[in-house]
Structure 1
Amino acid sequence: MSLLDAAREVRDAAYAPYSRFKVGAAVRGTSGRIYRGCNVENVAYPEGTCAEAGAIAAMVAAGETELTEVAVIAASPSPVPPCGGCRQKLAEFGRGDTPVTLATTDGATLHTTIGELLPGRFDAGHMDGAE
Protein backbone atom coordinates (compact mmCIF):
# COMPACT_ATOMS: atom_id res chain seq x y z
CA MET A 1 0.00 0.00 0.00
CA SER A 2 1.31 3.45 -0.86
CA LEU A 3 1.59 6.17 1.77
CA LEU A 4 -1.12 8.20 0.06
CA ASP A 5 -3.42 5.16 -0.07
CA ALA A 6 -2.89 4.65 3.66
CA ALA A 7 -3.82 8.29 4.31
CA ARG A 8 -6.86 7.98 2.04
CA GLU A 9 -8.03 4.85 3.86
CA VAL A 10 -7.66 6.24 7.37
CA ARG A 11 -9.43 9.46 6.38
CA ASP A 12 -12.67 7.49 6.32
CA ALA A 13 -12.25 6.82 10.05
CA ALA A 14 -11.96 10.53 10.95
CA TYR A 15 -14.32 11.80 13.62
CA ALA A 16 -15.49 15.15 12.28
CA PRO A 17 -19.16 15.62 13.23
CA TYR A 18 -18.84 19.40 13.62
CA SER A 19 -16.82 20.55 10.61
CA ARG A 20 -17.45 17.46 8.46
CA PHE A 21 -13.89 18.06 7.18
CA LYS A 22 -12.20 14.67 7.35
CA VAL A 23 -8.42 14.52 7.05
CA GLY A 24 -6.17 11.48 6.81
CA ALA A 25 -2.40 11.44 7.25
CA ALA A 26 0.27 8.79 7.02
CA VAL A 27 3.96 8.91 7.84
CA ARG A 28 6.66 6.41 7.02
CA GLY A 29 9.22 5.64 9.73
CA THR A 30 12.85 4.81 9.08
CA SER A 31 11.90 1.12 9.37
CA GLY A 32 9.65 1.52 6.32
CA ARG A 33 6.51 0.95 8.39
CA ILE A 34 3.53 3.20 7.74
CA TYR A 35 1.72 4.94 10.60
CA ARG A 36 -1.69 6.48 10.06
CA GLY A 37 -3.76 9.13 11.78
CA CYS A 38 -7.06 10.94 11.24
CA ASN A 39 -8.50 14.09 12.72
CA VAL A 40 -10.61 13.66 15.85
CA GLU A 41 -12.82 16.62 16.67
CA ASN A 42 -14.25 17.60 20.01
CA VAL A 43 -17.20 19.87 20.64
CA ALA A 44 -14.69 22.13 22.43
CA TYR A 45 -12.95 22.87 19.12
CA PRO A 46 -9.39 23.55 20.29
CA GLU A 47 -9.35 20.16 22.01
CA GLY A 48 -9.40 18.13 18.80
CA THR A 49 -6.46 16.26 17.30
CA CYS A 50 -5.08 16.73 13.79
CA ALA A 51 -4.47 13.76 11.50
CA GLU A 52 -0.74 14.50 11.27
CA ALA A 53 -0.42 14.53 15.06
CA GLY A 54 -2.24 11.20 15.27
CA ALA A 55 0.08 9.59 12.73
CA ILE A 56 3.14 10.88 14.57
CA ALA A 57 1.75 9.63 17.89
CA ALA A 58 1.21 6.16 16.38
CA MET A 59 4.80 6.16 15.10
CA VAL A 60 6.24 7.19 18.46
CA ALA A 61 4.04 4.66 20.30
CA ALA A 62 5.53 1.97 18.05
CA GLY A 63 9.04 3.00 19.11
CA GLU A 64 10.14 5.09 16.12
CA THR A 65 11.19 8.72 16.36
CA GLU A 66 12.10 9.65 12.79
CA LEU A 67 9.84 9.91 9.78
CA THR A 68 11.02 9.75 6.17
CA GLU A 69 7.89 10.65 4.23
CA VAL A 70 4.48 12.25 4.84
CA ALA A 71 1.12 12.18 3.03
CA VAL A 72 -2.00 14.20 3.90
CA ILE A 73 -5.36 14.01 2.13
CA ALA A 74 -8.68 15.83 2.46
CA ALA A 75 -11.79 16.54 0.40
CA SER A 76 -11.03 20.12 -0.57
CA PRO A 77 -10.70 22.21 -3.73
CA SER A 78 -6.90 22.16 -3.46
CA PRO A 79 -4.36 20.14 -1.45
CA VAL A 80 -4.53 21.07 2.24
CA PRO A 81 -1.27 21.85 4.04
CA PRO A 82 -0.78 20.93 7.70
CA CYS A 83 -1.64 23.59 10.27
CA GLY A 84 1.21 25.51 11.90
CA GLY A 85 1.34 23.25 14.95
CA CYS A 86 1.52 20.12 12.81
CA ARG A 87 4.25 21.66 10.67
CA GLN A 88 6.31 22.03 13.84
CA LYS A 89 5.45 18.46 14.89
CA LEU A 90 6.53 17.14 11.49
CA ALA A 91 9.76 19.14 11.76
CA GLU A 92 10.45 17.57 15.16
CA PHE A 93 10.49 14.07 13.67
CA GLY A 94 11.57 14.72 10.08
CA ARG A 95 14.33 16.52 8.24
CA GLY A 96 13.98 19.62 6.10
CA ASP A 97 14.25 17.56 2.92
CA THR A 98 11.63 14.99 4.01
CA PRO A 99 9.11 14.67 1.17
CA VAL A 100 5.49 15.65 1.85
CA THR A 101 2.61 14.83 -0.51
CA LEU A 102 -0.55 16.88 -0.05
CA ALA A 103 -3.60 15.59 -1.90
CA THR A 104 -7.31 15.98 -2.48
CA THR A 105 -9.76 13.13 -2.72
CA ASP A 106 -10.30 14.17 -6.35
CA GLY A 107 -6.68 13.35 -7.21
CA ALA A 108 -4.91 16.74 -7.15
CA THR A 109 -1.49 16.55 -5.51
CA LEU A 110 1.19 18.93 -4.38
CA HIS A 111 4.70 17.68 -3.61
CA THR A 112 6.74 19.67 -1.11
CA THR A 113 9.08 19.12 1.84
CA ILE A 114 8.95 19.75 5.56
CA GLY A 115 11.54 22.52 5.07
CA GLU A 116 9.37 24.26 2.47
CA LEU A 117 6.34 23.99 4.76
CA LEU A 118 8.24 25.40 7.74
CA PRO A 119 11.19 27.58 6.78
CA GLY A 120 13.17 28.91 9.71
CA ARG A 121 11.91 26.12 11.92
CA PHE A 122 12.54 26.15 15.66
CA ASP A 123 14.68 23.18 16.67
CA ALA A 124 16.78 21.87 19.55
CA GLY A 125 19.78 23.90 18.33
CA HIS A 126 17.95 27.05 19.42
CA MET A 127 18.02 25.75 22.99
CA ASP A 128 21.78 25.24 23.21
CA GLY A 129 23.11 27.14 26.17
CA ALA A 130 19.68 27.53 27.76
CA GLU A 131 19.79 27.80 31.54
Structure 2
Amino acid sequence: MSTEGEQRTIRCLVAKVGLDGHDRGAHVIARAFRDAGFEVIYSGLHNSPDEIVQAAVQEDVDVLGISILSGAHDTLVPKILDGLKEYDAFEDTLVITGGIIPDEDHDELYDAGVDEIFGPGASMEETITFVRENAPER
Protein backbone atom coordinates (compact mmCIF):
# COMPACT_ATOMS: atom_id res chain seq x y z
CA MET A 1 0.00 0.00 0.00
CA SER A 2 1.51 3.26 -1.03
CA THR A 3 0.05 6.68 -0.87
CA GLU A 4 0.71 9.69 -3.02
CA GLY A 5 3.73 11.61 -1.83
CA GLU A 6 5.30 8.52 -0.30
CA GLN A 7 8.85 7.94 -1.52
CA ARG A 8 9.43 4.80 -3.50
CA THR A 9 11.90 2.29 -2.15
CA ILE A 10 15.31 2.59 -3.78
CA ARG A 11 16.78 -0.83 -4.67
CA CYS A 12 20.55 -1.12 -4.19
CA LEU A 13 23.09 -3.82 -4.92
CA VAL A 14 26.21 -3.52 -2.77
CA ALA A 15 28.82 -5.50 -4.67
CA LYS A 16 32.29 -6.86 -4.01
CA VAL A 17 34.19 -7.64 -7.19
CA GLY A 18 37.40 -9.56 -7.82
CA LEU A 19 39.69 -11.06 -5.26
CA ASP A 20 39.20 -8.29 -2.71
CA GLY A 21 38.33 -10.01 0.57
CA HIS A 22 37.85 -6.89 2.67
CA ASP A 23 34.12 -6.44 3.19
CA ARG A 24 33.72 -4.43 6.39
CA GLY A 25 33.01 -1.21 4.45
CA ALA A 26 30.48 -2.99 2.23
CA HIS A 27 28.66 -4.28 5.29
CA VAL A 28 28.68 -0.84 6.91
CA ILE A 29 27.22 0.85 3.82
CA ALA A 30 24.67 -1.93 3.30
CA ARG A 31 23.44 -1.47 6.88
CA ALA A 32 23.37 2.34 6.51
CA PHE A 33 21.37 2.00 3.28
CA ARG A 34 18.90 -0.38 4.98
CA ASP A 35 18.56 2.00 7.93
CA ALA A 36 17.84 4.80 5.42
CA GLY A 37 14.94 2.75 4.03
CA PHE A 38 16.62 1.40 0.90
CA GLU A 39 16.12 -2.18 -0.19
CA VAL A 40 19.61 -3.72 -0.16
CA ILE A 41 21.05 -6.80 -1.80
CA TYR A 42 24.62 -7.76 -0.88
CA SER A 43 26.62 -9.76 -3.42
CA GLY A 44 29.01 -11.46 -1.04
CA LEU A 45 32.73 -11.72 -1.78
CA HIS A 46 34.76 -12.64 -4.86
CA ASN A 47 32.36 -11.92 -7.70
CA SER A 48 33.37 -11.54 -11.33
CA PRO A 49 32.30 -8.40 -13.19
CA ASP A 50 29.79 -10.53 -15.14
CA GLU A 51 28.27 -11.91 -11.92
CA ILE A 52 27.79 -8.35 -10.65
CA VAL A 53 26.17 -7.30 -13.93
CA GLN A 54 23.87 -10.34 -13.90
CA ALA A 55 22.79 -9.64 -10.32
CA ALA A 56 22.16 -5.94 -11.04
CA VAL A 57 20.06 -6.76 -14.11
CA GLN A 58 18.14 -9.65 -12.55
CA GLU A 59 17.39 -7.71 -9.37
CA ASP A 60 16.46 -4.59 -11.41
CA VAL A 61 18.38 -2.33 -9.05
CA ASP A 62 18.33 1.45 -9.11
CA VAL A 63 21.79 1.75 -7.56
CA LEU A 64 24.92 -0.35 -7.92
CA GLY A 65 27.48 0.31 -5.21
CA ILE A 66 30.85 -1.27 -5.96
CA SER A 67 33.16 -1.66 -2.98
CA ILE A 68 36.75 -2.22 -4.02
CA LEU A 69 40.01 -2.10 -2.12
CA SER A 70 42.17 -4.43 -4.22
CA GLY A 71 43.63 -1.84 -6.57
CA ALA A 72 41.96 -3.49 -9.57
CA HIS A 73 39.31 -0.76 -9.90
CA ASP A 74 40.81 0.45 -13.19
CA THR A 75 40.04 -2.86 -14.92
CA LEU A 76 37.13 -4.38 -12.98
CA VAL A 77 34.84 -1.34 -12.71
CA PRO A 78 34.92 -0.55 -16.48
CA LYS A 79 34.09 -4.22 -17.19
CA ILE A 80 31.00 -3.90 -14.99
CA LEU A 81 29.98 -0.66 -16.71
CA ASP A 82 30.43 -2.25 -20.14
CA GLY A 83 28.27 -5.18 -19.02
CA LEU A 84 25.50 -2.86 -17.86
CA LYS A 85 25.64 -1.15 -21.27
CA GLU A 86 25.36 -4.53 -23.04
CA TYR A 87 22.12 -5.21 -21.13
CA ASP A 88 20.78 -1.68 -21.67
CA ALA A 89 20.82 -1.23 -17.89
CA PHE A 90 23.49 1.50 -17.73
CA GLU A 91 21.21 4.51 -18.23
CA ASP A 92 18.80 3.30 -15.52
CA THR A 93 21.43 2.50 -12.88
CA LEU A 94 23.25 4.92 -10.60
CA VAL A 95 26.78 3.54 -10.20
CA ILE A 96 28.82 4.52 -7.19
CA THR A 97 32.12 3.16 -5.96
CA GLY A 98 33.74 3.13 -2.58
CA GLY A 99 37.04 2.05 -1.16
CA ILE A 100 40.66 2.86 -1.78
CA ILE A 101 40.78 4.53 -5.19
CA PRO A 102 43.67 6.94 -5.73
CA ASP A 103 42.69 10.48 -6.71
CA GLU A 104 44.63 10.18 -9.98
CA ASP A 105 42.27 7.35 -11.06
CA HIS A 106 39.01 9.23 -10.41
CA ASP A 107 38.77 10.94 -13.82
CA GLU A 108 39.22 7.64 -15.65
CA LEU A 109 36.37 6.06 -13.66
CA TYR A 110 34.11 9.08 -14.12
CA ASP A 111 34.84 8.99 -17.87
CA ALA A 112 33.92 5.28 -17.91
CA GLY A 113 30.54 6.10 -16.34
CA VAL A 114 30.88 6.00 -12.56
CA ASP A 115 28.52 8.58 -11.07
CA GLU A 116 30.38 9.16 -7.79
CA ILE A 117 33.35 7.87 -5.82
CA PHE A 118 33.26 7.72 -2.02
CA GLY A 119 36.63 7.21 -0.39
CA PRO A 120 37.72 6.77 3.20
CA GLY A 121 36.19 9.42 5.40
CA ALA A 122 33.03 9.90 3.31
CA SER A 123 30.08 10.14 5.66
CA MET A 124 27.09 7.83 5.50
CA GLU A 125 24.83 10.89 5.34
CA GLU A 126 26.72 12.22 2.31
CA THR A 127 26.42 8.88 0.52
CA ILE A 128 22.73 8.40 1.37
CA THR A 129 21.89 11.95 0.29
CA PHE A 130 23.72 11.46 -3.01
CA VAL A 131 21.78 8.26 -3.69
CA ARG A 132 18.42 9.81 -2.79
CA GLU A 133 19.08 12.84 -5.01
CA ASN A 134 20.47 10.90 -7.97
CA ALA A 135 18.77 7.48 -8.11
CA PRO A 136 16.99 7.22 -11.46
CA GLU A 137 13.25 7.76 -11.58
CA ARG A 138 11.46 4.62 -12.72
TM score, norm. by length of structure 2: 0.36
Using CA pairs below 8 Å that are at least 6 residues apart, which structure has the higher relative contact order?
A: 2
Higher helix share: 2
Higher strand share: 1
